[in-house]
Structure 1
């Protein structure tokens, strides 16, 4: 399974317009493309930053969709009043685990890491055997995933929780987990973001 993420910073006042566009127009259009298995949108109302994700059954399907997706991405940026250039990245889905569907008001923590490309498999093993068991025991846990870029060594882990309160309560434990990853794998934490889940229709199968 493969994922394409698009990161933009828009006008916070236009977040709801962007969500409406995703729900009513972009999701139906992308879902009709061969190999698409879902879409999601996360956002930060304070900064206007949005991360939109599409999931694909194969790398070939993801690559074949590039031209058709581009005008949809342009429209989304205009609707959101994007104030900076987009950042588009493609990932392999290494781990996906769901406890239950995300309810209204759910939030997610995204942890972006950079490391040695030769240690990507070690990172996946650590996520499965050490990190995921700790995360899924936290109050309000909904789901968790790990996406990797084997060429660059970049990875992004996402953990979703029922509410803002649940994600805030998990910060200390999550920080301890990050410290262990950095120490044992020699990785660098590029960024940690907590975002609201505005649209969640990624139908990636269980891969834990």
Structure 2
């Protein structure tokens, strides 16, 4: 599958307004688009950040929806955010939660860079080494690797049952991260933590 991510920042006092519009009117707009498969909205209320992932059946559906919804999306979020960035990805590896997760579940996101020629190595390492190790961490619920092979960029998301499990996982996930960097030759650019605000689990194509 393919994905589009949004990364928005603004006044922390207004961030819940962005979450509300994304999970109601925004979700309805997305659900009406051909090829739509799922939505996740994640929030950092302390710093005023919102991360959004939308899932699409294929690259064509994702790109067509962006062209159709771009103006509406910007207008919808304008009262609540001051910056908005979008990126397109291939969902190279993902494991769905086994059950619907409640708001407040923990989410950790890492941004990576790699040589484009190492894209297959990154995907193979994540699938065969990283995912099994993540699955052994208490409270793990699901993970994904979004990748832009041409630009040598990727993002890794990991879901945990709640904030307590998210916090407790930091050392274990850091150890897996270090092992993966040695094997897959990527550079970690950032790690951020959010809580789940709204999610419809990705539907398998």
**TM-score, normalised via structure 1 length:** 0.92
Secondary structure, aligned partner of 2:103? coil
Secondary structure, aligned partner of 1:79? coil
Q: Aligned Cα RMSD in Å?
A: 1.5
* Structure 1 Cα separation of the partners of residues 19 and 85 of structure 2: 19
How many residues align? The count is 204
Q: Name the structure 2 match of 1:24.
A: 24
Q: Name the structure 1 match of 2:5.
A: 5
Q: Name the structure 2 match of 1:149.
A: 148
Contact kept? 1:110, 1:192, Cα under 8 Å: yes
* Structure 2 Cα separation of the partners of residues 100 and 143 of structure 1: 10
* Structure 2 Cα separation of the partners of residues 78 and 200 of structure 1: 22
Q: Name the structure 2 match of 1:93.
A: 91
* Structure 1 Cα separation of the partners of residues 136 and 180 of structure 2: 18
* CA displacement at 1:69 relative to structure 2: 1.5
* Structure 2 Cα separation of the partners of residues 137 and 116 of structure 1: 29
* Structure 2 Cα separation of the partners of residues 2 and 117 of structure 1: 18
* Structure 1 Cα separation of the partners of residues 76 and 54 of structure 2: 14
Q: Name the structure 2 match of 1:114.
A: 113
Q: Deviation string for 1:93-116 (max 9, x for gaps)?
A: 111112332223201111110001
**TM-score, normalised via structure 2 length:** 0.94
Contact kept? 1:55, 1:202, Cα under 8 Å: no
Deviates more, 1:105-114 or 1:196-205: 196-205
Q: Name the structure 1 match of 2:168.
A: 169
* Structure 2 Cα separation of the partners of residues 189 and 72 of structure 1: 33
* CA displacement at 1:66 relative to structure 2: 1.8
Contact kept? 1:37, 1:54, Cα under 8 Å: yes
Contact kept? 2:19, 2:50, Cα under 8 Å: no
* CA displacement at 1:204 relative to structure 2: 4.0
* CA displacement at 1:89 relative to structure 2: 0.6
